[in-house]
Structure 1
Amino acid sequence: MTTVLMADDGPGRVLGLITAGTARTRTAIAQVTGLARSTVGQRLDTLFDAQLIRESPESLPSRGRPSRVLELNPRAGVIISVDVGEDRTRMAILDLNMAIIGDRVEKLKLGDGPEVLLDRITALVRELIVQQGLEQTAVAGFGLGLPAPVDYEAGRVMGWSVMSGWENYDIRRHLRRSWPVPVLIDNDVNLLTLAEHRRFWPSARHLFFVKAGTGVGSGMVIDGAVNRGAQGAAGDIGHAHVAGFGDPQCRCGNVGCLESLVGGWALARDLGEGHDARDIAERLRRGDSAAVAALRNAGRIMGESVAYATSLLNPDVIVLGGLLGSTGDDLMAGIRQVVYQRSLPLATRRLQIVPTRFKSRAGIAGAGHLVRDHVLAPATLDARLTVGKTPFGDQ
């Protein structure tokens, strides 16, 4: 008879303690879990057999002989991470410690539709795997970020987006024809939010992330976890109406959306030159005074929406990212001014408003964390190991 392990006493929990750094020796694991040393030994044997852990060269002092430190084996499997943008797509192979083994950027057209684009991504990722000599390494999962509203549970684009022709297409089913592993799909801003929280603000219980690029989006961490709302639309300030600044036509079909006022494409429209955030960033780089003035004004307009979010969510930290959010202090200054002016002192007395520290690859990191969280979750891992499956591979 097969014994079914519970998530609170199985090898998955032990692995979680090791990867979090909570308990990295046999003695520490026994102390934290309350399990007998013989039981801890069994759990560790299971993890060693699955090649999920290894002994580190490091050792820690103890009452007797120094204790060997245990660590995750980062090459037990690899994660495919893909960040699809409006005009560029980045693909990467990550190890289980989120280190990039190899990556590439390609200009792919969203207008080619889901079948063509997803097949092209698959072909490019396979090339990357071969280039890195990883053909014999198990793929743990596939993470995909999209510049569109995503129903997270269904893994489908829902509603209006720049991804015309993708709505309700079964992306997960398509990818699993080539990748019979867990396929997790999310909105790109949610993945940026996840990456920011995990990398730089892990102790923040409440975080609000704003992406200012060609479009405008936002994501939120509530009680330490990304909150997607009921259908994955939570936190989207880009298409909320902002009163008092006119009602220009937005790409979504509505009027007066925040994005229609401060998105990169909207600033290019108002300046009469260029098409997107890259064009605006280039003008800023040249010191174009009209572009600088437009961005400062955009910061004050964006501050109205961010101030409302501050009162609603009361975050510990607000992080500004995206191409326009990373061009200097002009956008940030306007946001800070309005937030501190509009929000109650109780909401702002400990609030930090900061630029992202990511230089690039934040979307890749977010998609990687999404997959890693899923495949290394104690319940998921215990279920596979209990029935004798390898931790990764065909599902």
Structure 2
Amino acid sequence: MVNRLAALTAIGLVTPTGTAAASGGRPAARLMFDQASRVCIGIDLGATHGTVGVLDLSGEVLRQESRVIDIAKGPTEILTWAVNTAERLLAASGRQQRDLLGIGVGVPGPVEHSTGRPIRPPIMPGWDGFDIPAFVRRRLMATVLVDNDVNLLALGERATQWPAVDDLLFIKVSTGIGAGIILGGVLQRGSRGSAGDIGHVQVPGTANDRDLEATASAPAIAAYLSRDGAVDIEPGDVTNRIRMGDLTAIAAAREAGRAIGEVTAMCVSVLNPSVVVVGGRLGVNVQEIIAGIREVVYRRSIPLANQHLNIVPARGGPDAGIRGAGLMVLDERLCAAAVDELIEQLD
């Protein structure tokens, strides 16, 4: 134990904080986990937004920067911006690459977590099979982990808003629709990383049994509102139309919420979470979405599953994605085996 503590002190993960009260013999030394000894980088990429942040080992965001992006412009342009921003924020934080524990990246599509490669992502042309970790490591020499952005939002939301909850379902409603599943306190990715891909679940009762994204996402609602050709509504305009009191848009959002509720009710019956968090641009900003979800879930699922079920809007804020990315890195790089590797590097 003494040797291990000495090694942990040598790599900077623990630091002395004085001595404890003596109970006979030499006073015991006090040690604490040094949250400032290393940093990690979180990169949260959505269809139309990107956020990069530097975090300490407690998951606290030290610096961050966001901008509007178009994920369809491809991996080289988007990741170059992300890496450039990460390097600038790292320097502004007074840190160097040797302080970097790892980089977490979230993208809006299916990811094979073991390789960090997106697999046929529907709204990410040019990204299929792209080696994101290898690209990032050309500039930032550290471990790079990649996951679906909804999984990272689930991690960030739970850590900041629901730390005592072990079973949580996070549903993102935006350009696409997906879910992050936490059961028993552990993020569930499935065998290849596609767990939670509810956007491609067919919605009962819809025309031609359309899937959830084709029924209730922002582009789907925009297409419905533009159906008569009188006006051309963009997906980013849907929220504004609802806030302006457009009755057709409000009704469409409520119906979208009910469609999401149909699929959510299935998830509640199978997974039995205690909290369902609804996030994403529409999920957070359009109360009709969450109202529709609640209406169907409380009606469809059995009393044992919904008796104490909370269905709430996300409260993690704009940095939830980078927090989740950072937490993914910390879970991986501060496990016992990874810390042993850091210690071995000193030898």
For normalisation by structure 2, the TM-score amounts to 0.91
**Equivalent in the alignment of 1:178:** 139
**Equivalent in the alignment of 1:109:** 70
Which segment is superposed worse, 327-336 or 236-245? 327-336
- Write out aligned runs for 1:327-346 (5 A): 327-346=285-304
Say which of 277, 286, 300 aligns to 2:244: 286
1:136/1:220 Cα in 2 relative to 1: closer, same or farther (>3 Å)? closer
Given residue 205 of structure 2, which amino acid in structure 1 is its aligned partner? G
The alignment partner of 1:374 has SS state of helix
2:307 equivalent to 1:353: no
Q: How far apart are residue 155 of structure 1 and its match? A: 0.7
Rounded Cα–Cα distance in structure 1 between residues aligned with 2:199 and 2:72: 22
- Structure 2 unaligned runs (5+)? 227-231
Q: Contact 1:82–1:91 at 8 Å: present in 2 too? A: yes
Q: Contact 2:137–2:144 at 8 Å: present in 1 too? A: yes
Given residue 168 of structure 2, which amino acid in structure 1 is its aligned partner? L
Rounded Cα–Cα distance in structure 1 between residues aligned with 2:345 and 2:79: 32
2:270 equivalent to 1:270: no
Count of residues in correspondence between the two structures? 341
Rounded Cα–Cα distance in structure 1 between residues aligned with 2:111 and 2:265: 25
Q: Contact 2:121–2:127 at 8 Å: present in 1 too? A: no
Rounded Cα–Cα distance in structure 2 between residues aligned with 1:280 and 1:122: 32
Which segment is superposed worse, 67-76 or 238-247? 67-76
**Equivalent in the alignment of 1:192:** 153
**Equivalent in the alignment of 2:229:** none
Q: Contact 2:167–2:182 at 8 Å: present in 1 too? A: yes
Rounded Cα–Cα distance in structure 2 between residues aligned with 1:205 and 1:215: 26
Given residue 158 of structure 1, which amino acid in structure 2 is its aligned partner? I
Aligned identity (percent) is 37
The alignment partner of 1:380 has SS state of helix
The alignment partner of 1:323 has SS state of helix
- Please give the per-residue CA displacement for 1:137-178, whole angstroms capped at 9, x wherever unaligned: 611101100011000001101024211111111111122122
**Equivalent in the alignment of 2:53:** 92
**Equivalent in the alignment of 2:177:** 216
Q: Contact 2:49–2:68 at 8 Å: present in 1 too? A: yes
Say which of 176, 190, 195 aligns to 1:229: 190
Q: How far apart are residue 332 of structure 1 and its match? A: 1.6
Rounded Cα–Cα distance in structure 2 between residues aligned with 1:341 and 1:211: 21
Q: Contact 1:207–1:318 at 8 Å: present in 2 too? A: yes
The alignment partner of 2:207 has SS state of coil
Q: Contact 1:94–1:100 at 8 Å: present in 2 too? A: yes
Q: Contact 1:296–1:330 at 8 Å: present in 2 too? A: yes
Q: How far apart are residue 69 of structure 1 and its match? A: 5.8
Rounded Cα–Cα distance in structure 2 between residues aligned with 1:71 and 1:213: 42
Q: How far apart are residue 241 of structure 1 and its match? A: 0.8
Q: Contact 1:284–1:327 at 8 Å: present in 2 too? A: no
Q: How far apart are residue 205 of structure 1 and its match? A: 2.6
Q: How far apart are residue 385 of structure 1 and its match? A: 0.5
Rounded Cα–Cα distance in structure 1 between residues aligned with 2:165 and 2:20: 29
Q: How far apart are residue 86 of structure 1 and its match? A: 1.0
**Equivalent in the alignment of 1:309:** 267
1:359/1:387 Cα in 2 relative to 1: closer, same or farther (>3 Å)? closer
**Equivalent in the alignment of 2:200:** 239
The alignment partner of 1:145 has SS state of strand
Rounded Cα–Cα distance in structure 2 between residues aligned with 1:155 and 1:382: 24
- Please give the per-residue CA displacement for 1:171-201, whole angstroms capped at 9, x wherever unaligned: 1112212222110000001111111222222
Rounded Cα–Cα distance in structure 1 between residues aligned with 2:96 and 2:201: 46
The alignment partner of 1:75 has SS state of coil
Say which of 133, 138, 151 aligns to 2:99: 138
**Equivalent in the alignment of 2:341:** 383
Rounded Cα–Cα distance in structure 2 between residues aligned with 1:229 and 1:173: 24
Given residue 316 of structure 1, which amino acid in structure 2 is its aligned partner? S
Q: How far apart are residue 66 of structure 1 and its match? A: 10
Rounded Cα–Cα distance in structure 1 between residues aligned with 2:296 and 2:82: 42
For normalisation by structure 1, the TM-score amounts to 0.80
1:287/1:70 Cα in 2 relative to 1: closer, same or farther (>3 Å)? farther
